[in-house]
Chains A and B, each alone.
Chain A
């Protein structure tokens, strides 16, 4: 039984990577906006990395920390299935990458019409750069761990496989319903 559990429980990150089933997971309650440091680590890391990746013309953070009465929330692309920003994009700059399933942007095509900014229900798209482009998180799909996740020391951002995610989520719901009566498998 114990062996069986161990075999089935943990997901293989590598295997998930192959299937492109890697997510960025948010734990908003753990985010404190890095207030003591004066800047948000994830935002800074993303900005620096995007400048390197897309060139100085398209630099600008793709993640943003917003605050409301002491609560922080990382605003990041939710990667909608039928993304409103893809529908709204007039030049066809934003598209679904069929291999990874992420919504990505071809910045060469972007003209700055702000149709996607107007359509994103999460406010995850912003105007950036001197040339005014609509920036959006691309999940760093072609790389290892996203830089924002690497930079976050608070554990508010996590990179996780889809099986692991579903397991954690089920556990959370169970904890919420049964409270202290359920034993966390993690602590075992």
Chain B
């Protein structure tokens, strides 16, 4: 069996692992357009901070590819996929035949039309790849006024500005929405986050966009003009607005695309033997109850695993995922799970706030559908499990708000195991009801 995997990151590698679990002898080729073996892509901002280095940024151990007998093809861009004769065409003209194909191309950064933006300039760029981080590291050394502008106050923008700040630059985040992390946070938590950023030398200009970048004679940015007419000095301009599925090369392949790659329950695309996953796949959103692109690491791994299992011939379904994310900003941990801003009137919001901690729960009837935790995130995984399974837990509302999230686990564990029974922390309990590991996914 010949497996070809496009994309050498979370989804692709998780798929390769799943294939290897069931098929020890099949040929697995992994294609990447970058020149690095798999690295932790979301960590490039930590690279600027020095929290991760050239030695520790690699996602897998050094001998991962040899040990698992994966053929790694670096620096090869896929230009098209021929699903009729089952081959992948590479940029250099090579053709790769496959029996089963996995597409995990991830996303390409989206750049809103901005006058003067030129990604080839050494002082401007997007922020999604290792090369981008290295470029910014160099650029920071040449910055005369030590001023940087980051367009976009989402996770990419926030982490990019934190990284640039660590390089000694003064950073201003320009965000279109009225707060940072606008899609995930609400007003209160957004303000707390902004305050924390401002205290640490990162300014936030919310409700703003960059309309023009003024360039000097060598083509590098000098200043930016905002929508409000304000002019800000800028040595470095980073655009981190978001990513779009990287699906351009699939045109004419017959694979159904609607924003992202459409997949069924088994992660197979509309074409037989072609599977997809990761940031480019449209999966079922269990909270919004509609197909959606959810570009986060845990789901990419899950999707890749389900796809790989099916590719190796073992049937497995993917039940769908939900959006959740966590980040730490200058010692302030933030976790957002599910629907954090109520979308209709049937949803009720409960909040708790004191000096350092903010908790918000969104209930739809008796079911918890979303949560924000700021400051104290202990036990947040329990909430995400509860939300994902759609458990009724309105009676735990007060305990969740007060931070006694563990009480839910204690109750369910005692319930399941009957207070007098012991049990091991590893093993298979096929017969157990709800809150057990086996149906966690």
Shortest distance between the CB of B377 and any CB in chain A (Å): 6
**Quick one: which of B35-69 are within 8 Å of A by CB?**
40, 42-43, 46, 51-52, 56-60
Q: Taking the complex as formed, is B335 at the interface, i.e. its CB lies under 8 A from any CB of chain A?
A: yes
A73 touches B298 (CB 8 A): no
A118 touches B324 (CB 8 A): yes
Is B414 an interface position by the 8 A CB rule?
yes
Count of A interface residues, CB-CB < 8 Å: 57
Q: Flag if A26 contacts B404 (CB, 8 Å).
A: no
Docked complex Cα distance between A119 and B437 (Å):
12
Query: Which positions 403-438 of chain B face chain A at CB distance < 8 Å?
Result: 404-407, 409-411, 413-414, 417-428, 435, 437
Q: Contact check, B59 vs A92: say whether CB atoms are below 8 A apart.
A: yes
- For B424, list chain A residues within 8 Å (CB): 23-26, 160, 162, 165
Is B59 a contact of A87 with CB atoms below 8 Å? no
Q: Is the interface of B mostly helix, strand, loop or mixed?
A: mixed
Q: Indicate if A182 sits at the interface (CB-CB under 8 A).
A: no
Select one of A66, A90, A92, A112 contacting B60, CB under 8 A: A92
Residues of A within 8 A of B182 (CB): none
Q: In the assembled complex, how far is the CB of residue B239 from the closest CB belonging to chain A, in whole angstroms?
A: 22
Q: Are B385 and A92 in contact (CB under 8 A)?
A: no
Selected contact of B384 from candidates A26, A75, A118, A169, CB within 8 Å: A118
A176 close to B (CB within 8 Å): yes
Which residues in chain B, 260-309, are within 8 Å of chain A measured between CB atoms? 297-298, 301-302, 305
Contact A125 B381 (CB under 8 A): yes
Judged by a CB distance under 8 angstroms, whether A122 is at the interface is: yes
Complex contacts, A123 vs chain B, CB 8 Å? 378-382, 405-406, 409
Comparing A3-11, A42-50, A53-61, A78-86, the segment that makes contact with chain B is A78-86
Separation of A89 and B296 alpha carbons in the complex (Å) = 11
B interface residues, tally (CB under 8 Å): 59
Residue on B nearest A69 in the bound complex, by CB: B407
- A151 CB within 8 Å of chain B: no
Chain A residues numbered 88-131 whose CB sits less than 8 Å from any CB in chain B: 88-92, 101, 108-109, 111-123, 125-127
Q: Which of B40, B305, B324, B377 contacts A82 (CB 8 A)?
A: B305
Contact at A87–B298, with CB atoms within 8 Å? yes
Report the minimal beta-carbon distance from A101 to chain B, rounded to whole angstroms.
Answer: 7
Which residues from chain B contact A132 at a C-beta distance below 8 Å? 328, 331
Which residues from chain A contact B404 at a C-beta distance below 8 Å? 68
What's the least CB distance linking B213 to chain A, in Å? 31
A29 within 8 A of B: yes
Complex contacts, A119 vs chain B, CB 8 Å: 298, 324, 381, 384
Q: Is A15 interfacial (CB-CB < 8 Å)?
A: no
Verify B410–A26 contact, CB threshold 8 A: no
How many Å lie between the Cα of A170 and that of B409 in the bound state?
24
- Give Cα A168 to B427, complex, Å: 13
> Are B381 and A68 within 8 A (Cβ)?
no
B422 x A25 contact (CB < 8 A): yes
Q: In whole Å, how far is B439's beta carbon from the nearest beta carbon of chain A?
A: 10
Check if B405 sits within 8 Å of A90, measured CB to CB: no
Residue A40 is within 8 A (CB to CB) of chain B in the complex: no
Which B residues lie within 8 Å of A160 (CB)? 424
Set A25, A73, A166, A176: member contacting B418, Cβ < 8 A: A176
The interface bits of chain B over 384-403 (1 if a CB of A lies within 8 angstroms of the residue's CB, else 0) are 11000000000000000000
Chain A proximity of B87: nearest CB distance (Å)? 31
Let me know if A91 and B52 touch, CB within 8 A. Answer: yes
Q: In angstroms, how far is the closest chain B Cβ from the Cβ of A124?
A: 8
Whole-angstrom distance between the alpha carbons of A166 and B428 in the complex?
10
- Decide: A26 near B423, CB < 8 A? Known: A111-B51, A114-B326, A118-B384: yes
A77 at the interface (CB under 8 A from B): yes
Chosen A-B contacts, 18 in total, with CB atoms closer than 8 Å, are: A23-B427, A71-B414, A71-B419, A88-B298, A92-B60, A101-B426, A114-B380, A115-B297, A115-B298, A116-B381, A118-B337, A118-B377, A119-B381, A120-B382, A123-B378, A169-B421, A169-B422, A176-B418
Closest 6 CB pairs of A and B: A121-B385, A23-B424, A120-B381, A27-B422, A87-B301, A123-B379
